[in-house]
Amino acid sequence: MISPYDVLLLGLLLLYAVGWMLVRRLGNQQKAPQKRESEGDISPTIASGDEFRKFQTNYLIVYCLVMFSDWLKGPYVYALYHAYGYDKGEIANLYIAGFMSSLVCGTYCGAIADRFGRRRLCYTFCIVYALSAMTKLVNDYNVLMLGRILAGIATSLLSTTFESWMVSEHLSRGYAQHLLMNTFAWATQLNGIMAVAAGVAASTVAELYGFAAPFVLAIAPLSIVFLLIALTWGENFGDREAAPFAPAITAIRNDFKLFCLGAAQSAFDTGLFLWVFLWTPALNQAASADNNLPYGRIFSSFMACTMIGSLVYELTSQFKQFSSRIPYLLHVLPCCCALVPLLSTSYPALLTSFLLFEVSCGIFFPCYATLRAAHLPEETRAAVSNFFRVPMNLFVCVLLFLGAQRSLDAAFFVLFVTHVVGVVCCHKFVVAEKLDKDMRFGDQDLERSSRAI
């Protein structure tokens, strides 16, 4: 029998399929005149097309397997702890341990990746995340705490090393800068597909074998990733001599845009990780359900909305009149979604707001990946990326600690304020970027005028 959650998921996937075809048709129409204009032109990008596709495909396979293993664990972390008999405060402390370990690890793992090699840190991620998954089999609070600490370390590695490796390799091979946007867009769409598949798979194995089963299943793709990296990836480095945050601090001090970009990203990520903790108890409370909702299928619906968001980004980024407004959209939409739980206790309204929040996440991931690729210094890319994860993890720990002692309404109000801060930081970045472009164009005009004279 098909449940309402299956109908919701199928409807969202159908909407994504229709949107994907429309975006592809529009993209082909825009490329046709460009192709006619460039006939006979043998550029490095065209000549290296097959080589680039092989590189991109290899990275995306690894990325998909990594994200599939990560998403398998997503729907049932809170539910597993709750099923083991722990209350909201104890569960919050487990989450805090994970974010604190990510904070401490984030202080050093970027610089370690730049110095000792990003591929080596990708190996480390596979091992640490597999160990973290195995701890979920033991109903012992100390073992579960160790698992959260390991998961926090792995999350820091996942968030920076794979992307840093790909961007560095992309640039060192001489591929065109604009192809990065294509890779990021594909990564986000495929990430959504992996998340939907992982949600369904997690729900299926959880119903058959219990809430710990998805964590065991996650070890298989991690093992494949380990082998693929060993066989197909080369090593690359950043600044091998710098202290953990010295190059990051220097880069941020010299570029106000970089500070605003990192602050906006940290604000969004803070809200995202708060939401990760809140969505399960919030839906349980609204539905008057005691850990009996189909979390895997709900999670798959969330991820289908992330895929739709990536299409929104891909579509709007093709139009210059909309591209500058994309960052505003992805920060304003979560503000509106965070208000819904404060104004309504309706389960459908709450679920709809969560689905819309995931749309904003789908816009956020490729948008900020493209912005990071354009603005982060290559030699310290991983270090700068991790620098902004430190305040994010600190804020999440503090807010989770306070939220565990208060009602869900207070937690969602904090979530709303967090995204308002993101809107402000985003506006500062857009203004600073516009001023920087105006100054560059002004310098170019002055140089041309001086040459004419």
Angle formed by the axes of helices 326-343 and 256-287, to 10°?
30
Distances (CA, A) of 429 to 328, 335, 432: 11, 18, 5
Of 221, 222, 218, the closest CA to residue 205 belongs to 218
Count of C-beta atoms within a 10 Å radius of residue 262: 26
CB contact at 8 A, 113 and 164: yes
The reported pLDDT for the residue numbered 403 is: 62
Count of C-beta atoms within a 10 Å radius of residue 38: 11
Distances (CA, A) of 177 to 172, 180, 181, 190, 351: 11, 6, 8, 21, 39
Return the structure tokens found at 265. Answer: 């990203």
Residue 184 CA from chain centroid, whole number: 11
The reported pLDDT for the residue numbered 375 is: 78
The reported pLDDT for the residue numbered 366 is: 82
Amino acid letter, residue 306: T
Angle formed by the axes of helices 256-287 and 408-452, to 10°?
150
The reported pLDDT for the residue numbered 222 is: 95
The reported pLDDT for the residue numbered 37 is: 45
Per DSSP, the three-state class of 203 is helix
CB contact at 8 A, 294 and 5: yes
Rounded Cα distance between 328 and 339, Å, is 17
Per DSSP, the three-state class of 350 is helix
The reported pLDDT for the residue numbered 59 is: 94
Low-confidence ranges of the chain (pLDDT < 70): 1, 27-48, 106-107, 110, 239-247, 289-291, 320-324, 378-383, 386, 403-406, 437-453
The reported pLDDT for the residue numbered 87 is: 87
